[in-house]
Amino acid sequence: MKGLILSGGKGTRLRPLTFTSAKQLVPVANKPVLFYGIETLAAAGIQDIGIVVGDTRDEIESAVGDGARWGRHDHVHSARTRHADSLTRCSSVNRLSVKKPFVMYLGDNLLAKGIVSLVKEFEATKPAAQILLTPVPQPEQYGVAEIDGEQVIRLVEKPKQPKSNLALVGVYMFGPDVFDSVKRIKPSFRNELEITDAIQDLIDRKLVVRPHIVDGWWKDTGRLEDILEANRLILDQLDTQIDGDVDSSSRIEGKVVIEPGAVIANSVIRGPVIIGANATIRDAYIGPFTAIMSAVEILGSEIEHSIVMEGSRITGLADRVTDSLIGRNVKINRYPAKPAALRFMLGARVKRWESHKIIDDSKKHNPPQIQRFAETNTHRWSLDQTLRQIPDERGWLMEILRADDELFTKFGQVYVSATYPGVVKAWHYHQQQVDHFACVSGMVKLVNG
């Protein structure tokens, strides 16, 4: 039995990360996604494994090496092709496509319990093909299989009215008959020979295509949300192992792996968390479901439910980082600007004051104006200034005012109250901040703080 991993996608849904790195090497729990696929095939007893790659061949070959780490020395190969997810190209990989049964595994898939039982079932029953399926809540978003007992009778790509909730997982087992199907089918609108079309040809020729329902969870890691969820699922299976240095002022909670050379100082690590070799965590909080790779530094910052890749540095952030994927050698630090704060107040239908008069919000200015008010113990003054309007992607108007220095010379702190139909917004900023931004269409009132 041979194995074939398709790993040639460009990872457009993971840009900008994939502009500089292969999507197959994005880590989940500190291990590249591609490695999980190789481990899955190796665990099923598959000796000869081919990886079909695209433009990222050099990077993938460097990461995979000769296969020795999986006990497959000189039995893990790669082949470069312009259409690395194309069935036509896969069937021409000489060392794999020799009219023998093989497993085809999409390289961005993760399976909780592997394919050992699938391989055993295929070898025992010897169908023309066997496909892995899983129930999904929204089958119209997937390729769906319709089955009749132990036979797949039809495959439909993203059906409007699905007759089944069984989605194709991306793991297929084929016998030699599939090579005839590859020759019979025509390219799709993508100008490629699709795997599903070849399987449907087997069905149309009355050959046996067996379904196999996945046991445990499955993730396609093509999107950030799915990578973070896969990271969560795998980290949740950790067993605690502390091989790094943890000082007495730090606290470790839950399931945590700290690899050799890592240093934890005056920090809280709340698992499940994995921290790679030679990482430094100081005066920091690392929250649940976070994977920190080797040589990462996190200083005076908080992070959770995230992945941080090798060599990155996060320093002195005031806000917690969450739900993030941070690439290699990235530096994130707090901008050395003067402090600012935002304060919001939300209410129902409002009226606003203008020179001691109440004016209904429905009476709009065109163009919108800003009304400045300021008070001291001895006098009161105000002036109008036109706002510059910039529409944003939501259709809201962002109005920008550049406040003059004179205003801030007189008043150490200024409050800004902005009205919008049915809403009051207010925020606070400090002396010498010269720009403020408001999503409003009406009057803005400044008063002495």
Q: What is the pLDDT of residues 109-139, one digit of tens each?
A: 888 888 888 888 888 989 989 988 888 888 8
Instruction: Assess whether pLDDT exceeds 60 at residue 441.
Output: no
Higher pLDDT, 96 or 49: 49
Instruction: Assess whether pLDDT exceeds 80 at residue 78.
Output: no
> How many Å is the Cα radius of gyration of the chain?
30
Ranked by mean pLDDT, the top range of 53-62, 134-143, 353-362 is 134-143
pLDDT given at position 261: 95
- Of the candidates 122, 126, 52, the residue with the CA atom closest to the CA atom of residue 87: 52
- Calpha distance 311→301 (Å, rounded): 16
**Mean pLDDT across the chain, nearest whole number?**
71
- Calpha distance 416→144 (Å, rounded): 55
Ranked by mean pLDDT, the top range of 74-88, 282-296, 324-338 is 282-296
- Of the candidates 439, 420, 438, 421, the residue with the CA atom closest to the CA atom of residue 429: 438
pLDDT given at position 163: 86
Task: Please report, rounded to a whole number, the percentage of residues in the chain having pLDDT higher than 90.
Answer: 18
- Calpha distance 408→422 (Å, rounded): 30
- Calpha distance 210→348 (Å, rounded): 60
Instruction: Assess whether pLDDT exceeds 90 at residue 245.
Output: yes
- Calpha distance 403→12 (Å, rounded): 42
For 280-302, what is each residue's pLDDT tens digit?
999 999 999 999 999 999 999 99
Instruction: Assess whether pLDDT exceeds 70 at residue 75.
Output: no
Pairing, β 351-354 against β 321-322:
unpaired
pLDDT band at 308 (very low <50, low <70, confident <90, very high): very high
For 1-38, what is each residue's pLDDT tens digit?
788 888 766 655 566 555 556 667 788 899 888 888 88
- Of the candidates 207, 40, 54, the residue with the CA atom closest to the CA atom of residue 128: 207
pLDDT given at position 446: 39
pLDDT band at 260 (very low <50, low <70, confident <90, very high): very high
- Of the candidates 435, 447, 438, the residue with the CA atom closest to the CA atom of residue 382: 447
Q: In this structure, how many other beta carbons lie within 10 angstroms of the beta carbon of residue 17?
A: 17
Structural domains of the chain ordered from first start: 2-220 (3.90.550.10), 238-333 (2.160.10.10), 351-448 (no CATH)
What number is the average pLDDT over the span 231-241? 91
Q: In this structure, how many other beta carbons lie within 10 angstroms of the beta carbon of residue 400?
A: 12
Q: Determine which of 156-165, 386-395, 420-429 has the lowest per-residue pLDDT on average.
A: 420-429
pLDDT given at position 377: 33
pLDDT given at position 61: 72
What number is the average pLDDT over the span 237-248? 93
Q: In this structure, how many other beta carbons lie within 10 angstroms of the beta carbon of residue 100?
A: 12
For 195-225, what is each residue's pLDDT tens digit?
888 888 898 899 999 988 888 888 777 778 8
Instruction: Assess whether pLDDT exceeds 70 at residue 69.
Output: yes
346-385 burial: b if 16+ Cβ within 10 Å, else e: eeeeeebeeeeeeeebeeeeeebebbbbbeeeeeeeeeee
- Calpha distance 297→280 (Å, rounded): 5
Instruction: Assess whether pLDDT exceeds 70 at residue 252.
Output: yes
- Calpha distance 34→70 (Å, rounded): 13
CA dihedral 222, 228, 232, 235 (to 10 degrees): 90
- Calpha distance 354→74 (Å, rounded): 80
Ranked by mean pLDDT, the top range of 114-123, 233-242, 342-351 is 233-242
Longest dimension (CA), the chain: 95
pLDDT given at position 426: 35
- Calpha distance 390→393 (Å, rounded): 10
